[in-house]
Amino acid sequence: MKKEYIHSFKSFDEDFKKKAKKTIKDVNGVPYVCYELEPGVWGSCGEVDPAYKPEITEGSLPGDVSKQKFCVQHHKPNFYYIDIPYKCNTCGKEAIFSAHEQKHWFEDLHFHFDSFPKGCIECRRKRREDEFKRIATQSTKKSKHKD
Ligand SMILES: [Zn+2]
């Protein structure tokens, strides 16, 4: 029988929680609540105990684990964020994936934990503007077509 992979977002679904068995597990000293449809089935996801508070590195931005959506089998929770330097793959400029931006990506926008900016802020803004112009041009063409 094919065992269905349960995506992390589904594990936060109330319906899923009702059907699944709740257990408390421990991975690398981090306790988390695990919801399994069948005990020990690969792909079952859980939730990290939001009350768990590890030691925070000085100068880092604390993360709110209760706002993060991810799969504990693949990712560790972001208890804190630090600035990550990288090179823009469009203009080659040195850029910073700031702690505040990471918090926004993973806690407000619920981006996948593997997400990482491809370009610097300027290049991303330019790409968005180009995209906006393209859509705007298309809708202008459409409305003209109607007349
Ligand atoms: Zn750039």
* pLDDT tens for the 147 residues of the chain, in order: 333 333 333 444 566 667 767 766 665 556 666 666 665 544 445 566 656 666 777 778 988 887 887 777 677 778 888 899 999 999 999 999 999 999 999 999 988 888 999 899 899 999 999 988 998 888 776 665 555
Amino acid (1-letter code) at residue 128: R
> pTM for the full model?
0.60
Q: What's the 125 CA to ligand 1 centre distance in angstroms?
A: 9
Contact 27, 72 (CB under 8 A): yes
Please name the helix (run of DSSP H) or strand (run of DSSP E) that holds residue 78, with its range, or none. Answer: none
d(CA 120, CA 72): 29
Q: What pLDDT is recorded for position 140?
A: 73
> What is Dmax (Cα atoms) for the chain?
66
Q: What's the 57 CA to ligand 1 centre distance in angstroms?
A: 29
Q: What's the 96 CA to ligand 1 centre distance in angstroms?
A: 11
Q: What's the 101 CA to ligand 1 centre distance in angstroms?
A: 16
CA 95 to chain centroid, in Å, comes to: 20
Q: What's the 105 CA to ligand 1 centre distance in angstroms?
A: 19
Q: What's the 88 CA to ligand 1 centre distance in angstroms?
A: 5
- Per the rule left: phi > 0, alpha: psi between -120 and 50, beta: everything else, 107 is alpha
Q: What pLDDT is recorded for position 28?
A: 54
Q: What's the 103 CA to ligand 1 centre distance in angstroms?
A: 21
Q: What's the 138 CA to ligand 1 centre distance in angstroms?
A: 27
Q: What pLDDT is recorded for position 94?
A: 94
Q: What's the 129 CA to ligand 1 centre distance in angstroms?
A: 14
